[in-house]
Amino acid sequence: MPDLQRLSPAHASALLAFETENRTFFAATVPDRGDDHFTHFADRHTALLAEQATGAIHMHVLVADDGEILGRFNLVDVADGTADLGYRLARDATGRGLATATVRELLTVAATDYALKRVTASAAEDNHASRTVLTRNGFVPTGTCTLRVGHEGITYARDLTDLAD
């Protein structure tokens, strides 16, 4: 059973493998991180952990029993009891309900461990899978946005007060 874990220094090599192996798959729906991201991955990982230590972000990975990273699930722009959710799942891990279940688990962690009251997210209009993950987890549409040139998105929000206790 995959395990949701808070990002740590121990995840660096598996996370780099995850990002590298799925780079083309991710680039089909979100802007590519660029070669610099991969060249300076260790520095970027260290910077993310430092930012996480401040409480401004909460980064997580979904780890398989063998240590392979199956996905990233992040809460960013944390302020005033709110955060923005972002996630990506490995190509080979899609279609099994892992994203839905992991987002559900992360929302509980967000409410109980991070004292968040509201989480927002966005998904491309044509990304039915991500939109389904959000709606199955109680997110409601709040508007539209431009995710990248020529790529419109839908914004969502989820109140977490029902999860806090």
The answer to whether residue 158 scores a pLDDT higher than 70 is yes
The answer to whether residue 56 scores a pLDDT higher than 90 is yes
- Burial code of 67-106, b = ≥16 C-beta within 10 A, e = fewer? ebbbbbbbbeebeeebbbbbbbbbeebeeeebbbbbbebb
Q: What is the pLDDT of residue 117?
A: 98
Query: Is the C-alpha dihedral spanning 5, 6, 7, 8 positive or negative?
Result: negative
- Burial code of 127-160, b = ≥16 C-beta within 10 A, e = fewer? beebbebbeebbbeeeeeeebeeeeebbbbbbeb
Q: What is the pLDDT of residue 35?
A: 79
SS3 annotation, 17-51: HHHHHCHHHHHCCCCCCCHHHHHCHHHHHHHHHHH
Q: CA-CA distance, 159 to 138, in Å (whole number)?
A: 8
The answer to whether residue 46 scores a pLDDT higher than 80 is yes
Q: What is the pLDDT of residue 2?
A: 96
The answer to whether residue 100 scores a pLDDT higher than 90 is yes
- The answer to whether residue 150 sits within a structural domain is yes
- The answer to whether residue 93 sits within a structural domain is yes
The answer to whether residue 14 scores a pLDDT higher than 80 is yes
> pLDDT exceeding 70 applies to what percent of the chain?
98
- The answer to whether residue 155 sits within a structural domain is yes
- The answer to whether residue 123 sits within a structural domain is yes
Name the domain count of the chain: 1
Whichever domain contains 29, its CATH number is 3.40.630.30
What domain range is 31 assigned to? 3-159
Q: pLDDT by residue (tens digit) across 110-152? A: 999 999 999 999 998 988 999 999 999 999 999 999 887 667 8
Q: What is the pLDDT of residue 147?
A: 82
Mean pLDDT of 22-31: 85
More confident residue, 45 or 35: 45
- The answer to whether residue 165 sits within a structural domain is no
- The answer to whether residue 73 sits within a structural domain is yes
